[in-house]
Amino acid sequence: MDIKPDNQTIETDGTVAAPTLQAVGIVKEFGTLRANDMIDFAIKPGEIHALLGENGAGKSTLVKILYGSLQPTSGEIRWRGKPVTIPDPAAARRLGIGMVFQHFSLFDALTVVENISLALEEKHSLDELAERIRTVSADYGLPLNPASIIADLSVGVRQRVEIVRCLLQEPDLIIMDEPTSVLTPQEANQLFVTLNRLADERCSVLYISHRLEEVKQLCHHATILRHGKVVAECDPQQETAGRLASMMVGAEVGSVSMKGAAGEDLPTRFSIRNLSLPRPHPFAIALQDVSLDVRGGEVVSIAGVAGNGQDELFDALSGETTAETADAIVIDQTPCGQRGITARRKLNAAFVPEERLGHGAVPRFSLSQNVILTRHGTGEGLVRSGIVDFAGAREIVHGVTNEFDVRKAAPDPEAGELSGGNLQKFVVGREFDRKPGVLVVSQPTWGVDAGAATAIRQALVDLARAGSAVLVISQDLDEILEISDRIAVISKGRLSPAKTAAGITREEIGLLMGGADGKQEAAGAH
Amino acid sequence: MHIELTRRPHRSTAMALASPLLAIALTLVTGIVMFTLIGVDPGKALYVYFVEPLTAAWSIEQLLIKAAPMILIAIGLAFCFRSNTWNIGAEGQLVAGAIVGSVLPIMVPDWTGPLVLPLMMIMGIAGGMAFAAIPALLKIRFGTNEILTSLMLVYVAELLLDLLARGPWRNPEGLNFPDSRPFSDGQLLPVIFGDGVRLNIVFVLVAVAVAWFVLGRTITGFQISVLGQAPRAGAFAGFSRKRMILIAFLISGGMAGLAGIAEVAGPIGMLRTTVSPGYGFTAIIVAFLGRLQPVGMLLAGLLLALTFLGGEGAQFELGLSDQTTRVFQGMLLFYVLACDTFIFYRPRIVRSRTAGATAATEPGHGSS
């Protein structure tokens, strides 16, 4: 792909400006895997440049190379036309590259100013820094109180802290990794205002996302990666989301069939009644009076921004945390609020947590051992008089991996050796294999490529249509709108009443995500 | 230039086997350096330590006698360490077992019927369990650090033993020596082999077999590994971490108690102010050197027993302090733990930071 002609900008005074950053022939190899294969691209001053690709396409590797966390095997990085090496993130910051991470690197127990102070290299006084934070954040429409403790802030405001931390270093390029995955639609719009303002000030933005609608709305240019290679460059505003998606995946993306939508007169199979739980530790969320019924035959989803009590709710539903009253959780007419996860599994309920490694599976255990993990107490004969039937577990592994197309290098590898997407297919398939009457699943397609995500979503819908109650906790609004019959929203540990999915708007859900009581947080209001 | 550790994609099975052997080799090399520095012929010293005890029948018997308590304790500790529970106080639980097990022979010296020995063993196990329950319950109820509490309780048990042996339980016919009355024949474990190898060697073999089966084949063993490696996944599997802490402490305390009563109702034959040369601590080394695997611990126990015997020979023939033995044991633990790092990590020498390819992080891990 010839990129020379259009990566130079003719300035108004007639001079030619070099791209802020240019990558030439970047190759990165991990052993035999080529994570980046001859990548060329350039970001112009003041451009919001999207980097699109599926999980595993090489986006993270490329970004880490640009930010100095990784060194390329070969290739060259040019900063304003001059070749540079970026040995570490500190060097990247000195050049003028800032980065806002998908997973925040903030200390919960410290204040905003203390957190930002830790990231700065030059000497400074906390008071002066607090004043600068106040000015800069207000200036960009991202107001922050420097004295707030991080733990008390919503996820959207925490992201604002990360952004302001970048802005204080007066960068010429900001890299944003999936910034809207933790934001409500309203918060995302606020972020776009700030990014456009930065672009107007000739700051470049490298914007990594798989949300095509917002890329179309925000970005001036897009580079699309697949299997470590640049497969296309385009102006996203001239393309449809469907065309962008097929460029990312390399094929048409299937959609989930919602045939035979759930009717009204179905029996309730899983019910949550006035469930309240105190917060288990100071940085957790208390559940307040959560009630919800899920009927056999339907998929009900719980939307919400990360950190609003989803983890605590999942633990309470699975029985890892028990409730104070038996009636708080009822599975097929059996109250089991005070009974643990094994008792609930015996009632033919199944659970898939968000975190695959360390929660849903033991990384250093083989897949067959991980089958035992959730199915030792379900009365399937995998454990007889205390003795484990590992051969039986291996047969289940064989069945699950065939059914869900889990790619693995050995017949029974350790869970930690599978890629994230394949492990997700395994932990979901492990539960589907039992044909559960009730399934509670958190973030079912997190980190899974588009093809596999469609397969998992279809399996969820099919399970429900076969008569099971399926409850999905997800932060992915597109996913929720695709598969749900009814939708509830969790915010600060409270659950809104479930609404029929047909006819609900994103804005409606977004408002509920920002606070079920209807009040938005001060800075989000515009 | 510096050395970096990079994570291996897979656990290295070869390194898992090589690690204890490498540790033994490094210990011997360091031993040679140490002996050279203090002016002892290293060839002779190593011969006295590691070869001479194996040249006579009586010393091989001694080897088995000394190895038995350490292997018993190590097997109990393996249940703890595999479940990520840290019982460092097996020495105290050994002493508690010795005290409680000695109640019958000291209080009822004339009872020598067939029931008394089994009862003494059961009481010894119960004593060890009860003493181990203290740090377990403190951890479950108050979240105390079990390493500290179990270790500090060792001194409590030792001082209690000292008090009993000097005070109320002192032999009235014993010329004021701080010993209890000697146990009668019916209160001692029978000799089953040679001059002094007693029934407890059978306990060891049974314990190895049972531990191998329980750890490898049963849901209890599975539970222990899950909770040890991934507590969150353990909760998801429906296993209780608190229950496991108690079970692990009770098993290891019971085994240590059994080892304790087998010592006083065996080679010692009475209760004294000290009943163990530190078997409870050395068993920690046995457990790790033996990879927390029952058969491995059997072999490691024999090796550590060799250091005790060799240490006695070295005092005698070379005039070396018995601290030399402790140094050997300490080095062995240090090296085996250090070598274990290479099971999951590969060392790499990196020449300088600015040279071409310096991949400092692996894919999939962000840096910030």
Which residue in the set B10, B219, B229 is minimally distant from A376, CB to CB?
Answer: B219
Which residue in the set B219, B238, B363 is minimally distant from A61, CB to CB?
Answer: B363
Q: What sign for the dihedral angle of Cα A350, A355, A361, A366?
A: positive
Query: CB–CB of B332/B23 below 8 Å?
Result: yes
Quick check: ipTM above 0.90? no
CA distance A472 to A457: 10
∠B10-B12-B17 over CA atoms, to 5°? 160
What are the helix and strand counts (H, E) for chain B? 14, 4
- A62: buried, middle or exposed (CB in 10 Å: 19+, 13-18, 0-12)? buried
Query: CB–CB of A349/A469 below 8 Å?
Result: no
Does B368 sit within 8 Å of A105, measured CB to CB? yes
**The sheet that has A221-226: what strands, in order across it?**
A97-100, A173-177, A204-208, A48-52, A221-226, A229-234
CA distance A203 to A209: 19
Q: Which amino acid is at A242?
A: G
The position carrying tokens 């010293």 is B45
Does B361 sit within 8 Å of A414, measured CB to CB? no
pLDDT, position B368: 35
Profile chain A (526 residues) by mean pLDDT over runs of 10 residues. Answer: 44 63 89 83 93 80 89 91 90 89 78 88 84 88 86 80 87 88 79 90 88 85 89 88 78 70 79 92 86 94 86 94 93 94 95 91 94 92 92 94 85 84 90 94 83 87 93 88 92 91 84 60 38
Residues of A in contact with B217 (CB under 8 A): 387-388
Residues of B in contact with A88 (CB under 8 A): 353, 360
CA distance A341 to A375: 11
pLDDT, position B354: 44
A383-384 and A387-388: which strand pairing?
Answer: antiparallel
- Which residue(s) pair with A49 in the sheet? A206, A221
Query: CB–CB of B194/B57 below 8 Å?
Result: yes
Which residue in the set A31, A71, A89 is minimally distant from B357, CB to CB?
Answer: A71
CA distance A74 to B108: 83
pLDDT, position B362: 37
Nearest chain A Cα distance for residue B1, angstroms:
15
In chain B, % helix, strand, coil (3-state, to 5) comes to 70, 5, 25
* Number of residues that this document lists for chain A: 526
Model pTM above 0.80 = no
Within B113-210, strands assigned E span 191-193, 197-198
**Which residue does chain A place closest to B223, by CA atoms?**
A373
DSSP string, A34-73: EEEEEEEEEE-TT-EEEEE--TTSSHHHHHHHHTTSS--S
pLDDT, position A504: 86
Among candidate residues A48, A22, A52, the one with its CA nearest the CA of residue A230: A52
CA distances, A175 to each of A65, A89, A99, A180, B284 (Å): 12, 12, 5, 13, 50
- A311, containing H or E segment: helix A310-318
Q: Which of B220, B240, B292, B367 to mutate to test the interface with A (most CBs of A within 10 A)?
A: B367
CA distance A284 to A279: 5
Whether B355 and chain A come into contact, CB under 8 Å, resolves to no
pLDDT, position B340: 87
Q: Which amino acid is at B83?
A: S
Residues of B in contact with A103 (CB under 8 A): 366
A521: left (phi over 0), alpha (psi -120 to 50) or beta: beta
pLDDT, position B213: 96
Phi, psi of A149 (to 5 degrees): -85, 135
**Which residue does chain B place closest to A98, by CA atoms?**
B368
Nearest chain B Cα distance for residue A10, angstroms:
34
Write out pLDDT tens, residues A61-100.
899 899 988 889 999 999 998 999 999 888 898 899 998 8
Phi, psi of B38 (to 5 degrees): -90, 10
Query: CB–CB of A230/A50 below 8 Å?
Result: no
- Which residue(s) pair with A51 in the sheet? A208, A223
Q: Which amino acid is at B43?
A: G
Instruction: Name the token pair of A278.
Output: 């105190």
CA atoms within a 13 Å half-sphere pointing along the CA-CB vector of A522: 8
A204-208 and A48-52: which strand pairing?
Answer: parallel
Tens-level pLDDT at each residue, chain B (368 residues): 778 787 777 778 888 888 889 999 999 999 999 999 988 899 998 898 889 889 988 889 999 999 999 999 999 999 999 999 999 999 999 999 999 999 999 999 888 888 999 999 999 999 999 999 999 999 999 999 999 999 999 999 999 999 999 989 988 887 788 888 899 888 999 999 888 899 999 999 999 999 999 999 999 999 999 999 999 999 999 999 999 999 999 999 999 999 999 999 999 999 999 999 999 999 999 999 898 999 999 999 999 999 889 888 888 888 888 888 888 889 988 998 899 888 888 888 777 544 333 333 334 333 33
Instruction: Name the token pair of A30.
Output: 């991990």
Within chain B, strands assigned E span 2-7, 191-193, 197-198, 345-350
Among candidate residues B236, B249, B218, B212, the one with its CA nearest the CA of residue B83: B249
pLDDT, position B329: 87
In chain A, % helix, strand, coil (3-state, to 5) comes to 35, 25, 40
CA distance A129 to B349: 41
Whether B13 and chain A come into contact, CB under 8 Å, resolves to no
